[in-house]
Amino acid sequence: MRIAIAADEDTGIAPALAAALRERGHDVVAAHGALNPDERDDWAWASEAAARDVADGRADQAVICCWTGTGASIAANKVPGIRAALCADAQTAAGARQWNDANVLALSLRLTSQAALEEMLDAWFATAPSTEDDDRANIAHLDEIGS
């Protein structure tokens, strides 16, 4: 899978993010913010860039980080077609994929340990979006809300 990544600081799990994704067989197609010396590293710009990679089809999904993860998720969710989920554990990551068909995983650089990162990535990529009618109706309604 093609993954875009972003972080506003090269701290915490940020330096290990690309390697953790590659270990799972994913292709890191773009790095943004503090992970790219040619880009602005502020959370709003970095997270938007990764989200646009997904929305424009250059990446299948993205993993974005900022100190709390909140700003990163807010910025990404401003991009049409993006469903970014701020997750702090594997169960939440799996639920975000299953029930919300999330396509961007937002993480906190402050709270996410290396072990939690590994668990969340495993859960995120092992979980497929639900095919249940009510779950699909909720996802479809998100596009209506944004119209």
Rounded Cα distance between 52 and 66, Å, is 17
Nearest to 7 by CA among 130, 106, 134, 138: 106
Residues with catalytic function: 66
Least confident of 4-8, 117-121, 141-145: 141-145
- pLDDT reported for residue 146: 72
Under DSSP, the state recorded for 51 is H
For residue 60, the domain's CATH number is 3.40.1400.10
Residue 39 belongs to domain spanning: 2-145
Structural domain count of the chain: 1
Q: What is the mean pLDDT of the chain?
A: 97
Rounded Cα distance between 27 and 115, Å, is 21
Average pLDDT for residues 48-62, to the nearest whole number? 98
CB contact at 8 A, 3 and 27? yes
Amino acid making up residue 108: S
**Does residue 48 register a pLDDT over 80?**
yes
- pLDDT reported for residue 143: 84
